[in-house]
């Protein structure tokens, strides 16, 4: 792949090949947004090379930004001032993330000599800071350079590892010998009671450990350089992005660090095998604490020797972590490569990657880590003056809501109460008064929570309480209590009283996700939210950005077309079926037998003209099940099966892959066999397991059918609260529906757009998109389709012309060009 540099508007964008014009526009607009410190909403359909445009656009900006910053620094260090364009001179304040802007607000009436003195001092401080930064940067560059070119270091590390392994082996043998002598002792002894007594309560305990560096180490804190935080939804999306960076012209010399959870990154087999994220986190934290306590105890020469129960993690050593940190920074690595490197260096990748954040230029991380303030803090992420790119952001509002909502069941409340009560009874006398008071407060709250669920706390027998559970119910209680600290107007508690206490629950529902996003947009230099389908954009503008206090002028929207030729798609809205039945799949009408029959007849007709795969989306599992049963009884399934083999979306997630494999194998075989069966029909559900993240490219999806409009259930208390909240807080635009109603429409169209966007995945792909419901023909609804579909959509009042258009489209497209 030959790298090419593209010049767009005087800016040079290195790119691995000649970009499409929409990619050039994307990069240029992205550059402008980052440079001007704006908030961008970017839409670029899947298959248009969005990731590459994000990488090359953003890293080109960072390259120029760093260059300018270094030039400014050099000028300042030389003169202490920079010339203004009119020839005068002014003191410089750099826009670096770590450089504080000098406070220019002086008390009124302050004498000139004081002002001058303060100004001079600020300038001197700034120069000193810059010098320090330069020294640190130089040192880091030298270190990284050395790692790149000096293979000996690797050998030294290897030697060190071998020695450590040998030592560990000897220690293990001697431990085993001791254990054998002492009888059949368990491998890990039960906790000594002293360990269980709470130390003086401290919050943010993870903060100290997050850097991966021991507190007592004399290591100056690394400079947080200006960087780009890229986040996406899943680990596979993040891995894909990292691979794109590796293949891009920036792959060789970008300092990239991938962040993940302990569950993904832990290399301590004893801890990793605990399985659940909660248990891994707890065990790891326990070991860090034990390490810190141990070093404190050694210093203080303890009066009593504690048992050696709490082993420290062998991968959490200062030198190993430093070495790993530098190795992380010299080459772009995904999570798997990071784990492999950690194993080789015998250093923890979780802490090693975190300690690389300050010097990294690009930090790749999952949503949760960036959008949750406490997690952000614990990971050592600082957003001040930085750039954030949020990809696959079509569900951003729901994601923020989900991260900050919390639910506890009645049985969790009872278990937590019982555990805490037993703890207090056993250790109460030895606890500090303040800690005892906190425990009593929590117990009181738990009792009251159970009371509002219509029951009372039942004592859990001691033996029962000792049964190991996957994770402590107290963690759920903690997040529920944390959620309750949100302001009243921004959240609601949903009380669900069911037949039994264990099925009843309390749920905190966040109504205003903007409160948590406000800090991100306030601190960051620029934020870009990007996705393949961002329509309807109004939700982002109103619910997220306006409510987070972002002025409308700071928001930039960019939507690019598709790379396919316009005639490679045929989007149709069909208002009535072959027997002239009006298509309107409302709750009242959709269960009528004539509606289900008409839908079946439409599919039968479409399957005769569409080659390969047809994917048909239903608004819910329940409706799909009803329709399937009806077709089975009426014989329609048998008629459909003449043309297409029928597959249904499986109920369990682990069966999805199997169904997809069989579906694709069937399409392939039918294409070669040339019989009456021309492919397969997949009956799927909107928002189900197949409506997101799965590609129906080429023959896998030559036609996507959407049966009805998948409106969410407006009777759900969550949605009703949210609608009422929006009606109260958002202004209603002239000629617009009330904000609550607009939300329902937007949720529906977002789901439709996600599902129908699955069919076109690359430049040579083609597909027809059939929307079955006359309500799609309404202009406000059409306006919520992605631009590249909206511009081509044809509304067909009757089925005849629609069928003719389908036949013509597929006949023409199926002829090899």
Q: Closer CB to ligand SF4, residue 314 or residue 532?
A: 314
Q: Which is nearer to ligand SF4, 41 or 347 (CB)?
A: 347
Alpha carbons 469 and 488: distance in angstroms, whole number: 33
Find the shortest distance in angstroms from Cβ 272 to ligand SF4: 7
The 3-class secondary structure across 363-385, one letter per residue, is EEEEHHHHHCHHHHHHHCCCCCC
* Closer residue to ligand SF4 (CB): 287 or 607: 287
Tell me, by CB under 6 A, how many residues bind ligand SF4. 13
Under rule CB under 6 A, residue 209 binds ligand SF4: no
Q: Is 564 in the site for ligand SF4 (CB under 6 A)?
A: no
Tell the smallest beta-carbon distance from residue 355 to ligand SF4 (Å): 12
**Which of the residues 259 through 298 are near ligand SF4 (CB under 6 A)?**
262, 266-268, 271, 284, 287
Closest separation in Å from C-beta 329 to ligand SF4: 19
Q: Judged by CB, which is closer to ligand SF4: 209, or 595?
A: 209
| Stretch in the footprint of ligand SF4 (CB under 6 A) among 309-317, 459-467, 537-545, 617-625 | 309-317
Q: Phi/psi of residue 420, each to 5°?
A: -70, -40
- Name which position in 92, 210, 257, 348 contacts ligand SF4 (CB under 6 A): 348
b vs e for 805-815, b when ≥16 Cβ sit within 10 Å of the residue's Cβ? ebeebbeebee
58 CB-side CA count, 13 A = 32
Residue 350 vs 631, nearer CB to ligand SF4: 350
Shorter beta-carbon distance to ligand SF4: residue 289 or 813: 289
Q: Does 313 bind ligand SF4 (CB under 6 A)?
A: yes
Q: Which is nearer to ligand SF4, 212 or 249 (CB)?
A: 212
| CB of 339 or CB of 514, closer to ligand SF4 | 339
Cα–Cα distance measured from residue 568 to residue 574, given in angstroms and rounded to the nearest whole number: 19
Classify 6 as helix, strand or coil: strand
Nearer to ligand SF4, 96 or 320 (CB): 320
> Does residue 335 interact with ligand SF4 by CB under 6 A?
no
Contact letters for ligand SF4, residues 219-258 (x by CB under 6 A): ----------------------------------------
Buried b vs exposed e over 533-572: b needs ≥16 C-beta within 10 Å?
A: bbbbbbbbbbbbbbbbebeeebbbebbbbbbbeeebbbbb
Q: How far is the CB of 283 from ligand SF4 (least distance, A)?
A: 7
Q: Which is nearer to ligand SF4, 339 or 396 (CB)?
A: 339
Choose between 471 and 777: whose C-beta lies nearer to ligand SF4. 471
CA distance 696 to 682: 11
547 counts as binding ligand SF4 under rule CB under 6 A? no
CB of 340 to ligand SF4, least distance (A): 14
Strand-pair partners of 614 = 681, 703
Q: Per residue, what are the HEC states of 304-355?
A: CCCCCCCCCCCCCCHHHHHHHHHHHHHCCCCHHHHHHHHHHHCCCHHHHHHH
Q: Report the candidate in 698, 699, 668, 701 with the shortest Cα–Cα distance to residue 682.
A: 701
d(CA 232, CA 309): 40
Residues whose CB falls within 8 Å of the CB of residue 135, separated by 6 or more in sequence, listed in order: none
Tell the smallest beta-carbon distance from residue 260 to ligand SF4 (Å): 10
Binds ligand SF4 by CB under 6 A, chosen from 350, 423, 517, 725: 350
- Contact between 316 and ligand SF4 (CB under 6 A)? yes
Name the one range near ligand SF4 by CB under 6 A: 85-93, 312-320, 502-510, 647-655: 312-320
Bridge partner residues of 495 (DSSP): 506
Could you tell me which stretch among 37-45, 311-319, 670-678, 782-790 binds ligand SF4 (CB under 6 A)? 311-319
Min. distance of Cβ 265 from ligand SF4 in angstroms?
6
Helical residues (DSSP H) of 4-49, grouped into ranges: 21-36
Cβ atoms of 424 and 441 closer than 8 Å: no
How far apart are CB 295 and ligand SF4 at their closest, in Å?
A: 15
Distances (CA, A) of 36 to 8, 65, 99, 384: 17, 12, 18, 16
Decide whether 74 or 171 has the Cβ nearer to ligand SF4.
Answer: 171
Q: How many CB atoms lie within 10 A of CB 645?
A: 18
Residue 34 touching ligand SF4 (CB under 6 A): no
Assess contact for 408 and 481: CB atoms under 8 A. Answer: no
Instruction: Tell me whether residue 271 or residue 781 sits nearer to ligand SF4 (CB atom).
Output: 271
Q: How far is the CB of 478 from ligand SF4 (least distance, A)?
A: 20
Per rule CB under 6 A, is residue 355 in the interface with ligand SF4? no
With respect to ligand SF4, which residue has the nearer C-beta, 287 or 388?
A: 287
Residue 536: asked if its preceding bond is cis (omega within 30°), the reply is yes
409 binds ligand SF4 (CB under 6 A): no
* Stretch touching ligand SF4 by CB under 6 A, among 19-27, 313-321, 569-577, 794-802: 313-321
Assess contact for 374 and 344: CB atoms under 8 A.
no
| Gap between the Cα atoms of 292 and 212, Å rounded | 12
> First vs last Cα of the chain: how many Å apart?
27
Least Å distance, CB 147 to ligand SF4, is: 21
Tokens of 200: 């003086």
Which range of residues in 152-160, 308-316, 394-402, 448-456 is near ligand SF4 by CB under 6 A? 308-316
How many other CB atoms sit within 10 Å of the CB of residue 424?
17
**Contact residues for ligand SF4, defined by CB under 6 A:** 262, 266-268, 271, 284, 287, 313, 315-316, 348, 350-351
């Amino acid at each position: 792949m030959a790298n090419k540099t593209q010049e767009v508007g005087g800016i040079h964008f290195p790119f691995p090949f000649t970009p499409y014009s929409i990619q050039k526009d994307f990069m240029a607009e992205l550059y402008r947004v980052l440079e001007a410190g704006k908030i961008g909403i970017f839409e670029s359909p899947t298959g248009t090379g969005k990731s590459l445009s994000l990488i090359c656009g953003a890293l080109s900006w960072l390259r120029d930004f760093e260059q300018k910053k270094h030039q400014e620094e050099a000028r300042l260090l030389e003169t202490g001032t920079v010339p203004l364009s009119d020839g005068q001179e002014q003191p410089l304040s750099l826009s670096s993330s770590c450089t504080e802007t000098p406070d220019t607000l002086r008390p009124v009436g302050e004498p000139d000599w004081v002002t001058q003195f303060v100004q001079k001092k600020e300038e001197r401080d700034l120069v000193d800071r810059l010098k320090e930064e330069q020294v640190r940067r130089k040192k880091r560059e030298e270190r990284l350079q050395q790692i790149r070119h000096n293979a000996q270091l690797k050998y030294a590390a290897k030697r060190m590892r071998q020695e450590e392994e040998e030592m560990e082996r000897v220690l293990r043998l001697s431990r085993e010998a001791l254990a054998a002598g002492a009888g059949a002792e368990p491998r890990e002894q039960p906790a000594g009671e002293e360990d269980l007594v709470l130390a003086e309560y401290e919050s943010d305990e993870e903060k100290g450990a997050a850097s991966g560096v021991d507190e007592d180490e004399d290591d100056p804190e690394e400079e947080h350089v200006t960087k780009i935080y890229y986040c996406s939804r899943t680990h596979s999306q993040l891995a894909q992005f990292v691979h794109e960076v590796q293949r891009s012209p920036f792959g060789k010399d970008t300092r990239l660090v991938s962040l993940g959870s302990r569950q993904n990154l832990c290399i301590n087999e004893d801890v990793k095998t605990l399985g659940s994220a909660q248990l891994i986190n707890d065990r790891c934290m326990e070991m860090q604490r034990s390490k810190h306590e141990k070093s404190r105890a050694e210093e203080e020469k303890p009066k009593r020797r504690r048992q050696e129960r709490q082993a420290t993690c062998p991968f959490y050593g200062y030198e190993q972590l430093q070495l790993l940190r530098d190795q992380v920074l010299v080459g772009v690595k995904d999570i798997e490569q990071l784990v492999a490197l950690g194993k080789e260096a015998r250093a923890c990748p979780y802490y090693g990657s975190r300690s690389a954040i300050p010097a990294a230029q690009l930090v790749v991380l999952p949503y949760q880590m960036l959008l949750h303030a406490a997690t952000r803090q614990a990971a050592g992420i600082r957003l001040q003056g930085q750039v954030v790119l949020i990809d696959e952001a079509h569900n951003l509002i729901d994601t923020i809501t989900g991260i900050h909502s919390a639910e506890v069941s009645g049985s969790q409340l009872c278990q937590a109460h019982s555990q805490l009560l037993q703890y207090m009874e056993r250790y109460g006398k030895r606890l500090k008064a303040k800690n005892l008071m906190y425990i009593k407060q929590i117990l009181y709250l738990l009792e009251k929570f159970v009371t509002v669920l219509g029951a009372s706390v039942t004592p859990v027998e001691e033996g029962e309480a000792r049964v190991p559970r996957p994770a402590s119910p107290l963690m759920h209680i903690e997040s529920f209590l944390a959620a309750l600290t949100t302001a009243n107007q921004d959240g609601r508690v949903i009380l669900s009283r069911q037949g039994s206490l264990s099925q009843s629950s309390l749920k905190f529902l966040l109504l205003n996700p903007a409160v948590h996003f406000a800090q991100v947009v306030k601190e960051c230099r620029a934020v870009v939210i990007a996705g393949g389908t961002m329509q309807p954009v109004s939700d982002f503008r109103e619910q997220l950005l306006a409510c987070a206090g972002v002025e409308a002028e700071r928001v930039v929207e960019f939507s690019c077309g598709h790379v396919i030729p316009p005639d490679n798609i045929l989007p149709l809205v069909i208002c009535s079926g072959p027997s002239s039945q009006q298509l309107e799949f409302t709750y009242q009408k959709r269960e009528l037998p004539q509606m289900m029959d008409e839908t079946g007849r439409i599919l039968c007709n479409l399957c005769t003209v569409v080659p390969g795969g047809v994917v048909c989306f239903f608004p819910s599992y329940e409706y799909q099940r009803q329709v399937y049963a009806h077709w089975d009884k009426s014989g329609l399934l048998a008629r459909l099966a003449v043309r297409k083999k029928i597959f249904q979306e499986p109920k369990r997630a682990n069966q999805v892959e199997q169904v997809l494999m069989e579906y694709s194998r069937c399409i392939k075989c039918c294409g070669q066999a040339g019989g009456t069966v021309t492919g397969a029909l997949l009956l799927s559900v909107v928002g189900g397991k197949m409506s997101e993240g799965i590609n129906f490219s080429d023959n896998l999806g030559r036609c996507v059918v959407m049966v009805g409009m998948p409106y969410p259930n407006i009777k759900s208390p969550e949605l009703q609260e949210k609608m009422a909240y929006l009606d109260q807080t958002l202004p209603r635009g002239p000629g617009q529906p009330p904000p609550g109603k607009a939300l329902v429409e937007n949720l529906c169209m977002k789901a439709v757009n996600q599902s129908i966007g699955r069919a076109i995945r690359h430049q040579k792909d083609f597909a027809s998109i059939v929307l079955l419901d006359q309500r799609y023909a309404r202009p406000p609804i059409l306006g919520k389709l992605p631009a590249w579909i909206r511009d081509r959509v044809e509304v067909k009042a009757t089925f005849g012309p629609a069928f003719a258009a389908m036949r013509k489209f597929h006949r023409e497209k199926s002829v090899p060009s």
